């Protein structure tokens, strides 16, 4: 089955700097890659997703890139702000699967003012 690895597990940046979180997946048939943000004590919330027919997608300060050949995708946050501090999870789903998401173990991002 699908396996998703996420790095780093923790990331600390200064406010205004960029943050990059990387994930790799094992199933070459995977075609949908969402990213979720979970603030302390709250539910995971979808922040951006990408499908395998595109290589990059942007939404204001957030972007996701996908390299299908290497089977990895990354989340990029520019001009980080303290409210970006949270745990970020990547996920993948395989074509033909039942549709459930397999999540990475998460990255705890801390943005220092």
Partner 1 sequence: DSGVTQTPKHLITATGQRVTLRCSPRSGDLSVYWYQQSLDQGLQFLIQYYNGEERAKGNILERFSAQQFPDLHSELNLSSLELGDSALYFCASSTGQGVRNSPLHFGNGTRLTVT
* Closer Cβ to partner 1, 78 or 103, answer by number: 103
Residue carrying structure tokens 């940046």 = 13
- Is residue 73 within 8 A of residue 67, CB to CB? The reply is yes
CA atoms of 32 and 41, how far apart (whole Å): 27
- Is residue 66 within 8 A of residue 33, CB to CB? The reply is yes
Give the β-pairing of 10-14 and 107-112.
Answer: parallel
Interface map 12-51 toward partner 1 (x if CB under 8 A) = -------------------xx-x-x-----xxxxx--x-x
Tell me if 103 contacts partner 1 by CB under 8 A.
yes
* Closer Cβ to partner 1, 11 or 78, answer by number: 11
Say how many residues touch partner 1, by CB under 8 A: 24
Residues that bind partner 1 (CB under 8 A): 31-32, 34, 36, 42-46, 49, 51, 89, 93, 95, 97-106
């Amino acid at each position: 089955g699908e396996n998703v690895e996420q790095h780093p597990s923790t990331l600390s940046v200064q406010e205004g700097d960029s943050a990059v979180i990387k994930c790799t997946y094992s199933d070459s048939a995977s075609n949908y890659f969402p990213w979720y943000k979970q603030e302390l004590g709250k539910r995971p919330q979808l922040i951006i997703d990408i499908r395998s027919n595109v290589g990059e997608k942007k939404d204001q300060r957030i972007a996701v890139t996908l390299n299908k050949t290497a089977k990895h995708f990354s989340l990029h946050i520019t001009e980080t702000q303290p409210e970006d501090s949270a745990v970020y999870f990547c996920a993948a789903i395989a074509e033909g699967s039942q549709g459930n998401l397999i999540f990475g173990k998460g990255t705890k991002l801390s943005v220092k003012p």
